[in-house]
Amino acid sequence: MATAEAVGGERWVGLAVDFSEGSRAALRWAADNLLRAGDSLLLLHVLKDPDYEQGETLLWEATGSPLIPLSEFSEPAIAKKYGVKPDAETLDMLNTIAKQKEITVVSKVLWGDPREKLCQAIHDIPMSCLVIGSRGLGKLKRVLLGSVSDFVVNNAACPVTVVKPAATTNA
C-alpha cells in the first residue's frame, strides 16, 4: 500500500473522536496547529460493543466501516446505521474547518478495543500522524482504568499527539 504522503502529495491526518470535550479539544488543536489545505482528515471512532442487529456491523467488525464522507456522516440516518451519535457542536466544527482549511473530512467507524483498533487503523491506512484527546485522568485512575492515549503513543506506527483538556483534575 502506498504511504499517505505519496498519494498526490496530500497528508492523511488521523483524529480519534468519541464526541467528548477531549476529542473536540484535539480537533481544535489539529485545526490550529496541523491541518493545511489539501490534507485529508480521517476521523476514527471506535465503538466498544458491536451491534449485531445491524447486518453491516457483522461484515465490518474486523476491518471497520468503509470511509464515510462528512456530508453523509452528518446525516442522522447514516450515523444511526453505524451506531454513532455525533454531537451537533463537533459536526459544526468539522464542517467549518473543512471549508476554512480546504480539507477533505472522512470518517471510519471501528468496533472493539479502542487501543487495538486505533493502532490497526494506523497500520491499514498509513497516516502522517494521529491526534488524540486525553480525558485528563490522574495517575491512579490511569493505572486502574488504562489509557487509550498511552497505549497508542507507545504502539502506533506514526507520530501521535495527545491533546489534554484545558482544565485537568488529578485523582
- Specify if 128 maps to a domain: yes
Instruction: Domain of residue 125: give its range.
Output: 12-163
The pLDDT confidence band at residue 5, using thresholds 50, 70 and 90, is: very low
- C-alpha 164/C-alpha 22 separation (Å) is 7
- Specify if 87 maps to a domain: yes
- Specify if 5 maps to a domain: no
| Full-model pTM | 0.83
Q: How many domains does the chain have?
A: 1
- Specify if 171 maps to a domain: no
Task: Give the CATH number of the domain where residue 106 resides.
Answer: 3.40.50.620
Sign, Cα dihedral of 42, 48, 53, 59: positive
- Specify if 4 maps to a domain: no
Query: In the predicted model, is pLDDT for residue 1 greater than 80?
Result: no
- Specify if 168 maps to a domain: no
Looking at residue 170, what is its pLDDT? 47
- Specify if 101 maps to a domain: yes
- Specify if 7 maps to a domain: no
Looking at residue 79, what is its pLDDT? 86
pLDDT digits (tens, 9 = 90+) for 47-89: 987 554 555 555 566 678 899 999 999 999 988 888 888 999 9
pLDDT digits (tens, 9 = 90+) for 103-126: 999 999 999 899 999 999 999 988
Percentage of the chain surpassing pLDDT 70? 77
Looking at residue 91, what is its pLDDT? 95
